[in-house]
Structure 1
Amino acid sequence: MNVKRPTNTHAEPIKAPPAAVAASWGELLSGRNLLPAIALTGGVALHAINVHIVTTILPSVVRDIGGLEYYAWNITLFVVASILGATLTNKLLDVMGPRRTYLLALAVFVLGSILCATATGMFWLLCGRSVQGIGGGLLAALSYALIRIVFVERLWSRVVALVSGMWGLATLLGPAVGGLFAASGEWRLAFWSLLPVALVQALIVSMQLTGKSPVPDKASLEPVRIPFLKISLLMTSVLLVALAGQVKDDAGKVLCITVGVSVGLLLAWLDRRPGVALLPSGAYTLRSPMGKIFACIGLLMIASMSEIFIPYFLQLLHGYSPLQAGYMTAVMAGGWSMASLVSSGRSSRSTARLIFAGPVLMTLALLALLVLLPGDIVPAYQGAWLCIALAGVGLGIGLGWPHLLTGIFKAALPGEENIASAGITTVQLYAMAIGAALAGLTVNAAGLSDPGGEEGARTAAYSLFGFFALAPAAAMVLSYRLSHCTDRSGLGDPDQNDPDS
């Protein structure tokens, strides 16, 4: 299917669905909806568990095979490869259908896990993480791309919340698996443990998803084209920003960042022109609700990537074990999941307040971590305060998350439904990759590896959380404007004065 800009660039205002027709959890988790929901969310659970496992064991990995200066690259390359996997989703669905596409994603993920488990050096591990990322990107994109295909509209926000809830499941399993294996010095077994889970998911998918294309409209008669140039530019933009963290001189850092940002701007300019697009109409302008939503998602995701160094800081500066540090870091994802589940059934009037409250809470939580994590101040019940701050970061994302994503579904113009669904994953992964790259750049520039030790880690913690608190602060402004739009006419009402909305 060619994803092209429709000639009609205006849409009727999208009203929020009446609370009376909102679906219950019972309707989603019973009858014929139950097994498809398990099939759809199981891949996300596998992906999320893997994320928490790797976050927990990374300090042990670098102590074993070295490569502290490439610590953040484990996340950056994983997410960049996930972008590639996510953008291939529509093409694979068109050619292979949902079932075989899902099974391919699981197979690629398993291959990457095996490479990670057998790594003897950082380069080998990074290769494995890249292969894992392609499979993970496919799994994440499929979870969103199939929501509007498999389920009726009134179930969308519930399914989105359930997908987010898989990160809550991961907070229970991921740190436990990673922490126990890291504490015993057998971090490789953490990767091997993912294989039986992938096998069970493959069996469920084989039974529940059909082999037919999920897009039965006229557009499905045309083959899906993949914008390889735009995907390459997107990945190049991230890698250049990440490379700045490895360059020693300031001029080189500035050059890498400048060129990386320029490549990103070039991508945005190309994507607004006629042709196969990565994002739907209105996504590149803040005058449009679609643009505001995507910008909020991007800023919140960038800020969330500060978590990749939290286990390292907790272990080095506060003396926590890998298991303790893993679970404390997972509190962030738990807050995200809990807030998403609780807020998913709220009315449109409450939605406006939740969308604004999220970035406010996240900003305050990151500022609290700025005070607590460097270790200069050790308050009574330090662990409890750290967990509260970490939970606040996740809560700040989850409060408005189901409504932001549902707003994208509803704001999509006719003919752009698929690209809007895929765009969620593309923007989320791109922002995460940029966030990971900026995190690595920030802590390396602040002295994480040079001078290193407690002094370098403490300075890096101050710099990281002070800088990353700016992202949700900017999202506060956008969400305030978006919440006013929601109050007037429902999330997704286009600005009729904006030619690109």
Structure 2
Amino acid sequence: MSLDILRQIFKGYALNIKPSSSNQETAVTRAEPNWGALLRGKNAIRSLALAGGVALHAINVYLATTILPSVVKDIGGLDYYAWNTTLFVVASILGSALSARLLQRTGPRRSYIIAALLFALGTLICAAAPTMPVMLVGRFVQGFGGGFLVALSYAMIRLLFDETLWPRAMALVSGMWGVATLVGPALGGVFAELDAWRAAFWSLIPVTVLFAILAGAMLPRRTVDGAARAALPWAQLILLTAAVLAVSAGSVMSGLAWSIAGVIAAVVLTALLIWIEAGARQRLLPQGAFRIAAPLGALYATMSLLAVTVTSSEIFVPLFLQVLHGLPPLVAGYLAALMAAGWTLGSITGSGARGGGVGRAIQAAPLLAFAGMVVLSILIPAGSAADWARLGPICVGLVVVGFGVGMSWPHLLTRVLQVAPRDEQDLASASLTTVQLFATALGAALAGMVANLAGLTEPGGVTGTANAARWLFGVFAVTPALCILTARLCARLQPRPVAHQPSLQAAE
């Protein structure tokens, strides 16, 4: 079935724009800022396309993590186990950083199709991989396409929806990660139990193809806002890649010295990136991104600190619950997902804040996250022998951390778009994913270093794990505490009124 036929099927929802006297007319219609306006009519189809891209990438993340032990058992490559995640994350960050250029050069429709095809190609390579090196190639291509998908979804929110709907659209898109924490491990577990890890990857391909068809039918061919096609910031991209590789490689190498060296190298490379970016004509991030006193700098700092808070604690929760509280892996895994569930719940409920409520939501986020981290630093190391009277408060703490971050997240992302220079809106949209993924990689590496320093591996056992949990949650409670200051700056920002929405030209 051709895309033209599909566009006729969805004719009532497609972006049919008639030329105005200026040859530009916005495709975005004014809407009441409620969920009904986002989830009905043509906005419902648009939302499905954007959320679908993020869901596809996110579910793959958790599905692949779940089946990876089965992969290693079948094709070998245990020494390269951690590099499956490392290369995937690096490729995702590269894809997100390049998404603005892809959008400018090819337009929304082709960008989404290219991203989906890259993701499908990587998935195909993974499904057919005879050895671990081939699997790593597939994971890199998968991550590259997935990074495009996620970043493009955020970028399209600005182009497809009225500004009043941005927070709810951001909440819907970011909420797909919470859905993925439930769906991904469940699907992966089923395929792992059936000893059919290749089928897990094969199952993603038809879904990806359907998504590409939907995106091709529903998204506009190109923007007509006159955006110039900027050259690629090669120096910054190389430094960004090297920094992520350094911190990721350090976190998976045996030995504390390697972890510390990786973090130091990442800091040095990031500092060099900032120095080059300050005087570069071709930028990776919008102007003001690295000055904490600037609006964008405060927003990026707040996003990064909150992302580090969640990542640093979330990745070790399943292990802590199994070793210290005697929970089986499946139960521990789903209790750990409570933080992501809290994030999704906070995003959905908090996205409706208006006026002064936005500032209050942003300022409340680090306070709630800090309170939750303190609770976890006390209760998780104590152990419970699967005593639900003690596990209950731990569950509350996990939800509170996620809820606090989630309630502010849609508004932080929206304010990035609102305060970014008008001629750098595409860069600002792409930066939402780039900054989050970089902070996530950094948080994971730092968490591993702190846990190992605190005794997770030496002396190990219950004593070492309890000490690691105590130090991990205690140390990373500092990040939301620092975030209190930057969140206050963000809450005081006065968003620039949007004079006109970007125009979209639908293909007839």
TM-score range, shorter chain: 0.7 to 0.9
Compared CA separation, residues 133 and 372, structure 1 to 2 (3 A): farther
Question: Is 2:488 the counterpart of 1:480?
Answer: yes
Compared CA separation, residues 412 and 391, structure 1 to 2 (3 A): same
Task: For structure 2, list consecutive stretches of 5 or more residues without a partner in the other structure.
Answer: 1-29, 498-508
The answer for the alignment partner of 2:49 in structure 1 is: 39
Question: Is 2:379 the counterpart of 1:369?
Answer: no
Question: Is 2:287 the counterpart of 1:281?
Answer: yes
The answer for the alignment partner of 1:28 in structure 2 is: 38
Match of 1:323 among 330, 336, 339: 330
Letter aligned with residue 341 of structure 2 = G
Q: Return the TM-score normalized by structure 1.
A: 0.83
Question: Is 2:229 the counterpart of 1:223?
Answer: yes
Match of 1:394 among 390, 402, 414: 402
State the SS of the aligned residue for 2:365: helix
Match of 1:419 among 415, 427, 440: 427
Alignment partners' CA distance in 1, 2:401 and 2:159: 32
Instruction: Return the offset for 1:255.
Output: 3.9
The answer for the alignment partner of 2:501 in structure 1 is: none
Question: Is 2:108 the counterpart of 1:101?
Answer: no
The answer for the alignment partner of 2:9 in structure 1 is: none
The answer for the alignment partner of 1:148 in structure 2 is: 158
Give % identity: 46
Equivalent pair of 1:362/1:393 in contact (CA under 8 Å): yes
Deviates more, 1:115-124 or 1:201-210: 115-124
State the SS of the aligned residue for 1:376: coil
Equivalent pair of 2:62/2:180 in contact (CA under 8 Å): yes
Alignment partners' CA distance in 2, 1:360 and 1:370: 15
Alignment partners' CA distance in 2, 1:260 and 1:88: 20
Alignment partners' CA distance in 1, 2:39 and 2:110: 25
Alignment partners' CA distance in 1, 2:156 and 2:280: 26
State the SS of the aligned residue for 1:193: helix
The answer for the alignment partner of 1:301 in structure 2 is: 307
The answer for the alignment partner of 1:461 in structure 2 is: 469
Equivalent pair of 2:259/2:445 in contact (CA under 8 Å): no
Alignment partners' CA distance in 1, 2:474 and 2:184: 28
The answer for the alignment partner of 1:50 in structure 2 is: 60
Alignment partners' CA distance in 2, 1:266 and 1:385: 44
Instruction: Return the offset for 1:239.
Output: 1.8
Deviates more, 1:118-127 or 1:289-298: 118-127
Letter aligned with residue 426 of structure 1 = T
The answer for the alignment partner of 1:16 in structure 2 is: none
Question: Is 2:138 the counterpart of 1:112?
Answer: no
Alignment partners' CA distance in 2, 1:397 and 1:103: 32
Equivalent pair of 2:100/2:429 in contact (CA under 8 Å): no
Compared CA separation, residues 121 and 467, structure 1 to 2 (3 A): farther
Question: Is 2:239 the counterpart of 1:233?
Answer: yes
Alignment partners' CA distance in 1, 2:343 and 2:239: 31
Instruction: Return the offset for 1:31.
Output: 1.8
- Structure 1 segment 36-435 matched on structure 2, within 5 A: 36-57=46-67, 73-117=83-127, 125-183=135-193, 186-210=196-220, 212-214=221-223, 216-219=224-227, 222-246=228-252, 253-306=259-312, 307-374=314-381, 376-378=383-385, 379-435=387-443
Alignment partners' CA distance in 2, 1:272 and 1:112: 35
Deviates more, 1:316-325 or 1:329-338: 316-325
Equivalent pair of 1:80/1:235 in contact (CA under 8 Å): yes
| Runs of 4 or more consecutive aligned structure 1 residues displaced over 6 Å after TM superposition | 59-71
Alignment partners' CA distance in 2, 1:465 and 1:112: 36
The answer for the alignment partner of 2:449 in structure 1 is: 441
Equivalent pair of 2:71/2:197 in contact (CA under 8 Å): yes
Alignment partners' CA distance in 2, 1:246 and 1:35: 41
State the SS of the aligned residue for 1:472: helix
Alignment partners' CA distance in 1, 2:357 and 2:453: 42
Letter aligned with residue 267 of structure 2 = V
Equivalent pair of 2:325/2:384 in contact (CA under 8 Å): no
RCO greater where, 1 or 2, for CA within 8 Å and sep 6 or more?
A: 1
Alignment partners' CA distance in 2, 1:492 and 1:284: 20
Instruction: Return the offset for 1:415.
Output: 0.8
Number of equivalences:
466
Letter aligned with residue 365 of structure 1 = G
State the SS of the aligned residue for 1:97: helix
Give deviations 1:396-431, integer Å, cap 9, x for gaps. 211111111111111012211111111111111111
Give deviations 1:443-471, integer Å, cap 9, x for gaps. 34445455655555444433433332222
Give deviations 1:162-218, integer Å, cap 9, x for gaps. 1123224324422321333445555554433322322321221121123x322x123
Letter aligned with residue 310 of structure 1 = V
Compared CA separation, residues 51 and 247, structure 1 to 2 (3 A): closer
Equivalent pair of 2:31/2:162 in contact (CA under 8 Å): no
Taking only aligned residues, the RMSD between alpha carbons, in angstroms, comes to 3.0
Compared CA separation, residues 456 and 108, structure 1 to 2 (3 A): farther
Instruction: Return the offset for 1:385.
Output: 3.1
Equivalent pair of 1:245/1:445 in contact (CA under 8 Å): no
State the SS of the aligned residue for 2:232: coil
Alignment partners' CA distance in 2, 1:265 and 1:178: 39
Alignment partners' CA distance in 1, 2:70 and 2:252: 21
Compared CA separation, residues 69 and 288, structure 1 to 2 (3 A): farther
Letter aligned with residue 80 of structure 1 = V
Alignment partners' CA distance in 1, 2:329 and 2:120: 24
State the SS of the aligned residue for 2:315: helix
Equivalent pair of 1:76/1:436 in contact (CA under 8 Å): no
Letter aligned with residue 394 of structure 1 = G
Letter aligned with residue 300 of structure 1 = L
Compared CA separation, residues 331 and 28, structure 1 to 2 (3 A): same
The answer for the alignment partner of 1:10 in structure 2 is: none
